Structure 1
Amino acid sequence: MIKRLIVALSLFFSFVSVAQENTASPYSFYGLGEQKFKGTAENRAMGGISTIPDSIHVNIQNPAFYPHLKLTTLSTGATYANYRFKTNDDKEKARRTTLDYLAVGIPMGKFGAGFGLMPYTAVGYKINNIIAPTENNGFPDQIYRYSGTGGLNKAFLGLGYEFAKGFTIGAEFGYYFGKIETMTTLTTSINENNQPTEYGTRELIDSKATGPGMNVGLAYVSKIGKKLSFAASAMYTAQSRISLNNDGQLATIKILSNNQTIVVDEQELGLDDTQVNLPSKISFGASLGQARKWFVGAEVTLLQNNDGGNRGSIVDNVGYKDGVRYAIGGYFIPKYMSFSDYWKKVTYRAGLKYEETGLVINNKSINDATMTLGVGLPLGGTFSNINLGFEYGKKGTRDAGLVEENYFNFTLGLSFNDRWFQKRKYD
């Protein structure tokens, strides 16, 4: 287990140290980027719900579930994402492969603890905007190109405690860090093929982000009769204040025939350091089922948007409102203790999610609808398992000149279990 932890930590830090593009969504242009799912592949395959108790999978969404762990658990996951973008005039495709999380959960009697690292927001857009002469007082086409990479990562440490039979409470302390790099170029066309002029203007802005975060959770698990179990949970994430250390350069660039650019002249931009808010949110969930057989649950999350985490850029056609997410999902295991049929021991998962993100562009709300499926494949002779998942979803709209984003995500999660801190009975 220790060797697995060291290897996983080395792998994750190598990914984080290089700014991986965790998204290709054009909607990551706004604020601090696209919010990433804060959970494991197992939860993600059930619509993202966190209110199902589990003794062998770490729940990194709600720290109140840490005391339910029975084995020390190392969990890591990755996603292969396919995007298809549509406007009323064009279509594009993109792919991304990213590491999603690394987490360790440790049971300690009535206590449980967890710690880990994950991407929290992601920026990864490339947008072209051509302003035609009819919109530009008869001048040549103005060609704007926007691109951005980076995002926030989150290191976290959580602790949960069972303070009464069936009742657990937990708190998680996090630290956000990362860098967002954006580039804007402006050129004008000189012919009908939109070939750019020889010279253009380029603006580069680097924002280094740091800040603390915290959330608290409450959970209740109880038996109903001899077979059924009921679980309910609530979680509150406080608003986080993120500090941005901003640097920028403005340059005159020369554009070569192969579209490469050469800096002709460059000057530093005197940018002030700024602070932005990550919005607060609160979620409520409940589930019903039979342990190691089936469970189904539902969850509602309310997001309080104020400025949407803006980095200070002024965009006239963008606003924010409070968001909400609805999720339902569950799992089914045909025969947990089957010795003759492996597929009867497999965990089958499914879920649905619908989210009003709170982002409003051109008076159109940006919503996200997702269907999820997954399987948990047990590894022989252990409680460890491989978790595979699939997501299909649609985000945004083609109305009002916007982009409809269709995505197909394949997720892989590894969950390794072991016993720590137990005294040997025999030497």
Structure 2
Amino acid sequence: MKRILTGITCLLLVQFVHAQSIYSFQGLGSLNHQGMPNNIGMGEIGIGTPTIWHINTQNPANLIYNTFSTFQLGLEVDRRRFSGDDVSGTDTDGGLRFLGFAFPIMPGKWSSSFGILPYSSVSYNTFSEGTIPDTGETVSQLSNNRGDGGLTNFFWANGFSIKKKLYVGVRANYTFGSIEKTSTISISGEDVPVSNVSYQELESYSDINFLFGLGYRHQLSEDRFLNFGATYSPSSSLNGSSELSLIRLTNTGRRIETVTVGTEDIQFDLPTTFGYGMSYEKLNNYKIGFDIESHGWNSAGSDAQEYNNSVKFALGAEWTPDYDNVNSYWKRAKYSAGFNYHKLPYIVNNQALIDFGINFGASLPVSGFSSLDLAFKWGQLGESTNGLIKETYYKVVIGATINDRWFIKRKYD
């Protein structure tokens, strides 16, 4: 336990993943999948795909399956390539991906979980240049726009069994974090001294929102099951504050003066969301399932920007060749694959953004019921035509799951 607590302390000092994305300048930034490596490996499904070996962060009703005390942690590395009209580049980032703990309070009746997951990330750096109108093209202007930060969910979730096959759950999220956006404008030209000015906006948010879940398990035979799940998150507001500063710079970029223009209270409305999932499972052998999620972004967001309703479809499968084989380690491992299609809420050049991904994963058994969890995703966001930029990315997630029976009083010394 001391080693685990030490590991938690060290990981909390590691920065969350803030992979660079051109499109993270919008809204709250790039929205992160709220699942664990086993979910990522299966195409990011989890609403109707319960498991006793991992924490389900997508549907709190499925926590009822956690009969062990489960601790999960993991890191992610994100590699992106950008391409478009006269634009190309790459970026690599990595950091903490998730941290969670689940345990049964009344085994088979009530299980609880808490942890942290990145909700959104902002990381971009764009340039533009041109001339100022009505100056005879003698005065040029260079703009450098940067953004950094993101929001984090600290969650507490509970799953309950209300009948033998019917489960309900609720997850409370404390969403917090800050987003810093800076625009630096440089003006120069004939008979015009060089002038560098930065406009810096710091947005900070903190508020509570909820996710409700429902699960049902239908037994077809001794070892075959149909699993159903549904989730609902009502619209809620993220309250925060915004501080705008004006910064004068020297030609070399050194600050001369910083003036706080003003501070105001702000509000960002999170959308109403619905999710549905279903899976077919042969116990300790294979499972296949799908998820559908819809997010009502057209009535959410802020007054400064319009959004589309978004939808996500995911399909995935998991396979264990021979769960009971004591002679072959690789036959006891779990292998997974899947894909997902996500129409994002953000609109660029009057076009909706599409994020498509193909996923693979593996859960390698270690001591007892614990495992080393691996997931890989190849994805593509946007396109390289119509004034957009295409992002091709690779994500690698490495996690560890520790399953044990903690908090049980010894009967014998």
Q: Is the 8 A contact 2:188 2:194 kept in 1?
A: no
Question: How big is the shift at 1:198?
Answer: 3.1
1:303-361 Cα offsets, whole Å, 9 max, x none, are: 11036634x6x5xxx63110000000010000011111111011001010000012111
Report whether the alignment pairs 1:392 with 2:372. Answer: no
Aligned to 1:425: 411
Aligned to 1:180: 179
1:368-418 Cα offsets, whole Å, 9 max, x none, are: 0000001111004x1000011110010012223121111011111110011
Aligned to 2:265: 273
Distance 1:136 1:339, change over 3 A: farther
How much identity, in percent, do the aligned residues show? 27
SS at match of 2:250: strand
Moved more, 261-270 or 358-367: 261-270
Aligned to 2:18: 22
Q: Is the 8 A contact 1:31 1:308 kept in 2?
A: no
Report whether the alignment pairs 1:69 with 2:82. Answer: no
Correspondence list, 1:26-105, <5 A? 26-50=22-46, 51-105=48-102
Find the aligned partners of 1:21 and 1:409 in 2 and give their Cα distance. 11
Report whether the alignment pairs 1:263 with 2:288. Answer: no
Q: Could you tell me which amino acid in structure 1 is paired with residue 240 of structure 2?
A: L
Find the aligned partners of 1:375 and 1:184 in 2 and give their Cα distance. 43
Find the aligned partners of 2:134 and 2:116 in 1 and give their Cα distance. 47
Question: How big is the shift at 1:266?
Answer: 2.8
Runs of 4+ in 1 over 4 A off after TM superposition: 132-137
Find the aligned partners of 1:245 and 1:155 in 2 and give their Cα distance. 20
Report whether the alignment pairs 1:355 with 2:346. Answer: no
Give the number of equivalent residue pairs.
409
Moved more, 242-251 or 172-181: 242-251
Find the aligned partners of 1:160 and 1:346 in 2 and give their Cα distance. 27
Q: Is the 8 A contact 1:180 1:206 kept in 2?
A: yes
Q: Is the 8 A contact 1:69 1:105 kept in 2?
A: yes
1:121-140 Cα offsets, whole Å, 9 max, x none, are: 11111111223568987353
Find the aligned partners of 2:353 and 2:81 in 1 and give their Cα distance. 16
Find the aligned partners of 1:128 and 1:361 in 2 and give their Cα distance. 17
Aligned to 1:248: 244
Q: Is the 8 A contact 2:301 2:307 kept in 1?
A: no
Q: Could you tell me which amino acid in structure 1 is paired with residue 20 of structure 2?
A: A
Find the aligned partners of 2:135 and 2:261 in 1 and give their Cα distance. 27
Q: Is the 8 A contact 2:179 2:204 kept in 1?
A: yes
Moved more, 140-149 or 79-88: 140-149
Q: Could you tell me which amino acid in structure 2 is paired with residue 31 of structure 1?
A: G
Aligned to 2:219: 223
Find the aligned partners of 1:79 and 1:130 in 2 and give their Cα distance. 35
Distance 1:73 1:299, change over 3 A: same
Find the aligned partners of 1:268 and 1:134 in 2 and give their Cα distance. 29
SS at match of 1:343: helix
Correspondence list, 1:256-335, <5 A? 256=252, 261-306=253-298, 309-310=301-302, 314=304, 319-335=306-322
Q: Is the 8 A contact 2:187 2:194 kept in 1?
A: no
Question: How big is the shift at 1:197?
Answer: 6.4
Q: Could you tell me which amino acid in structure 2 is paired with residue 359 of structure 1?
A: Y
SS at match of 1:306: helix
Find the aligned partners of 1:293 and 1:424 in 2 and give their Cα distance. 34
Q: Give me the TM-score of the superposition, normalised by structure 1.
A: 0.91
Q: Could you tell me which amino acid in structure 2 is paired with residue 251 of structure 1?
A: I
